[in-house]
Amino acid sequence: MFLFSVIWFLSETSAAPSLTAEQMSMSMDWLSKFGYLPPPDPVTGQLQTKEALTKAIKAMQKFGGLEETGVLDEETLVLMKTPRCSLPDLSQSESPLRRRRRALPSQTKWSKRHLSWRIRTFPKESHLLGRDTVRALMYYALKVWSDIAPLDFHEVAGNQADIQIDFTKADHNDGYPFDGPGGTVAHAFYPGDSVTAGDVHFDNDEAWTFRSPSDSHGMDLFAVAVHEFGHAIGLAHASAMASIMRPYYQGPVGDPLKYSLPYEDKVRIWQLYGVRDSVSHTAQPDTSHGSDQPVLLDLPENRSTILPDSDIPDRCSAHFDAVAQIRGEAFFFKGKYFWRLTREKHLVSLRPAQIHRFWRGLPTTLDSVDAVYERPRDHKIVFFKGLNYWVFKDNNVEEGYPRPISDFGLPTEGVDAAFVWPHNDKTYFFKGDQYWRYDDYLHRMDLGYPKDSVLWKGIPAQLDDATRWSDGASYFFKGAEYWRVRGSDMEVEAGYPRPIGKDWLLCADMLSDSPAPDVNGTDTRLRGQHRASHAGSNYQGS
């Protein structure tokens, strides 16, 4: 009956005399699939009228930025063949024919502002992109939206997340089957109460790329991810040619570290959620990198960096080289690697990341760091190793480094620990049984130092490191234990020391109530941490 409808339409109009019945059938399928036509009724066999088809074609042409001829001309057919998002273009109220079909929400949004995300399945191994790159691109694609709207995204390692990301293929039981290379390349689900709300699916049959020329074969993953995350937070398709929410694939959009949304997309997301406090009237995100911002790590190289098991240090064994709070998150450094925790002390991944790959400018031969802290006056990150130190703005080393630690007035033996005391915003350095107090605002050591570290009652000598934390307390680490000092006190709180592994790093063998890790290496305590509230990410392969 549907084929008869096609033949009837071709016989009734001279709109596209060169079209075959197969081409016409595919075009009608396309119009129905993307919301311009209702599907033919399989019970009544009701034919599509010439008027209805013409209206549908004109609506598609208008939305696609073409001349509204109502004719399936070459330009219209080319646009229909352009790779695109699977979701329909028009809401039910906007459809040229309001017969019953799959409804597209006209406006939905999240009731909360802190959203977790997780990549559940990665691209097939034959793809050019490694897991670290895919993870980084997802982070930056989400950050495009959180830079301007009051939303915060955080990657979690557990099975539960607000936004689940999958690379899948063909019919994957969600109502939007993929169709191989080209055609539909990805889709996402709007916020709501359904189990799939916020989820994003990419076609695993596509050749996903990054940093490839615009005329090269493949789909730029960052550009598509920005579009799909727009859906995941509530935006429908837009007809504006410049909009990232235009349904058709438009090629790469540039450097993920510098990309800014088109103005129309900014306005639409502001209408849903309002404007982020840090955004000025010119719609430019705040670049001051205050303490509430995540570390903006550079994108990894276009390859996987899964670490060999023999090279991975044990996070649950004693001793860390350095511990630091950076942009509100905790970083535990051991050898050439680090683990990262969210503001809520949720471990982002059980596997560590390589220090020199993220803070590029440190020597690639660096086997460890002595101490790390975030400078209070400008939030730059300072690394110490031996007699040298480096200053980073985010992950980029400043010019002129390394420099000697004598700049601080520190001893030539190096430092054991460095942290900023929340009580007075002064930087404290420890070495052996002595400590120094430095004023980062005045760039000088305070008079009367060094002093005996015994003044910090209960704190052991020869610390591994120390750090401030968002609860206003200071934490001191040595061996397998840590000590806590509250507020302006200089005395260890009762009940300390406590084990680092148990309280910070999900070491299951130290937890009597912890189940054994599952086959994926992620225990159920980690899976349960799925409502983290701070933007950030972890990029290493796992």
Binding residues for Zn(2+): 85, 172, 174, 187, 201, 227, 231, 237, 245
CA distance 278 to 157: 28
The enclosing H or E element of 417 equals: strand 417-421
Distances (CA, A) of 402 to 296, 372, 382, 391: 21, 14, 10, 8
Q: Is 228 a catalytic residue?
A: yes
- The dihedral built from the CA positions of residue 213, 215, 216 and 217, taken in this order, carries a sign that is positive
Residue type, 528: G
The amino acid occupying position 143 is K
Element housing 167 (H / E): strand 163-168
Q: Which amino acid makes up residue 112?
A: K
- One-letter amino acid of 477: F
Strand partners, 163: 117
The answer to whether the beta carbons of residues 253 and 220 sit under 8 Å apart is yes
**Dihedral (Cα; 252, 254, 260, 265), 10-degree rounding:** -10
User: Which of 155, 228, 329, 374 does the annotation list as catalytic?
Assistant: 228
In the block, tokens 């910090």 appear at: 456
**Hey, is 353 helix, strand or coil?**
strand
Binding residues for Ca(2+): 162, 179-180, 199, 203, 206, 321, 370, 418, 464
Strands 396-397 and 417-421: unpaired
Say if residues 36 and 59 touch (Cβ distance below 8 Å): yes
Instruction: Give the Cα separation of 483 and 458 in Å (integer).
Output: 8
Strand extents, DSSP E, 315-404: 322-326, 329-334, 337-341, 353-354, 371-374, 381-385, 388-393, 396-397, 403-404
The partner residues of 535 in beta bridges, in order of sequence, read: none
* Residue carrying structure tokens 């950030």: 536
DSSP β-bridge partners for residue 435: 430, 451
Burial class (CB in 10 A: 0-12, 13-18, 19+), 452: exposed
253 phi and psi, to 5 degrees?
Answer: -110, 5
Strand-pair partners of 116: 154
Q: Which residues are annotated as a binding site?
A: 85, 162, 172, 174, 179-180, 187, 199, 201, 203, 206, 227, 231, 237, 245, 321, 370, 418, 464
Q: Are 540 and 134 in contact (CB under 8 A)?
A: no
The continuous run of DSSP H or E covering 118 comes out as strand 114-119
* Strand pairing category for 329-334 and 403-404: unpaired
SS3 of 220, please? strand
Between helix 131-146 and helix 221-232 the angle, nearest 10°, is 50
**508 CB contacts (<8 Å, ≥6 apart)?**
514, 515, 516, 517, 523, 525
The catalytic residue positions are 228
